[in-house]
Amino acid sequence: MSTSNDAHRAELIAQFIAAGQTLYERGYASGAAGNMSQLLPDGTVVATPTGSCLGKLKADELSLVDQQGNLLSGPKATKEVLFHLAIYRNNPEVKSVVHLHCCYCTAYACLKDLDPNNAIRPITPYVVMRMGQVPLIPYYKPGSIHLAEDIGQVAAGHKAFLMANHGMITCGKDMTEAVNNAEELEAACQTYFLLQGQAERIRYLTADEIAELMPH
């Protein structure tokens, strides 16, 4: 007979698979790009396997790792699971992590001279309200331990990150929040590019307006 913990675990994994499918179907992930993870109640982490498609995940084909990244069951986890684990270790509010190479966020992350402490200069209130500041992580080869080290250093208190010339990461207390944050971050970057023909006319939010919106 299933225990309540077994049922909760199964529910989390079902939500995980559904999140991957919706991200894939809506064009936020293509091919085998991107990865996700979910912290389970027993402290282990379920993650997308290396080379997997977010739209075709199956419960019995997911990777299970411990907090050090050691494989407990399933196929080899994504090589980027190390930065997922760094986020969980340094931000106890986070239970779900999504990493995508979606078009507008990735294009935005390729720009020079972004603020490393807050890469998204706010045009609308929504990224600020939901995620606060969005640090920029310097470029490293995908899977590099340096990515995990740098992300771990700024993970506390943050729900989103841009990775220079690479993509984005969003987090949440559950997978729904992590996915919602990913969609909001992509929309913010898309808005920036839509306004580039009118760059000199963009009204950015003021420091006082931003402070009023910051999550507390």
- Are 165 and 110 in contact, with CB atoms under 8 Å apart? yes
**Active-site hit among 24, 104, 108, 126:** 126
Helices (H), 42-194: 81-90, 103-109, 126-131, 145-154, 175-194
Please confirm, yes or no, whether 126 is among the known catalytic residues. yes
Cα–Cα nearest to 89, from 155, 145, 40: 155
Q: At what angle do helices 175-194 and 4-25 cross, to 10 degrees?
A: 20
22 forms bridges with which residues in the sheet?
A: none
d(CA 1, CA 94): 30
Q: DSSP 3-state assignment of 14?
A: helix
d(CA 103, CA 81): 22
- C-alpha distance from residue 214 to each of 84, 125, 128, 130, 210 (Å): 24, 9, 6, 8, 6
**Active-site hit among 11, 25, 28, 80:** 80
Please confirm, yes or no, whether 80 is among the known catalytic residues. yes
d(CA 102, CA 75): 25
Active site residues: 80, 126
